[in-house]
Amino acid sequence: MSDEDRLSRVFAALADPTRRDLVARLTEGDATVGELAAPYAVSLQAVSKHLKVLEDAGLVTRTKDAQRRPVHLEAEVFDLMTRWIERYRQRAEERYSRLDALLDELQDSRAEEDAS
């Protein structure tokens, strides 16, 4: 799967508040589907689906422990997002500083004109 593809899935996965909440809770430690589902009003199946989305995005892995399926957060995927965000944030900020520099120059040359 391409990075583009992965990025789409990761962003889409985190667009849902319930899934963001699941990720948040998983930073506290691994948990089973039942444990994760308990706090929510929705059915267990719905949570199971959410977990599948997170898994397909690579944010989470599910192992086997008898009937249980402990869910584990894969923090590395965050890096992909961070890299994307930082790349464009940087570009944008560079552009602004160039703009600032330009405005400064403009102001300087005007000050010179005023002085002359």
Which residues contact its own copies by CB under 8 A? 4, 7-9, 11-12, 14-17, 20, 23-24, 26-29, 73, 75, 78, 81-82, 84-86, 88-89, 91-93, 95-96
34 binding DNA? (CB under 7 A): yes
42 binding DNA? (CB under 7 A): yes
- How many CB atoms are located within 10 Å of the residue 36 CB? 20
Structure tokens at 13: 């996965």
Could you give the CA distance from residue 33 to residue 47 in angstroms, rounded to a whole number? Answer: 7
Cβ atoms of residues 71 and 33 within 8 Å: yes
> From the CB of 76, what's the least distance to its own copies, in Å?
9
DSSP E strand boundaries for 19-62: 60-62
Among 11, 20, 43, 99, binds DNA (CB under 7 A): 43
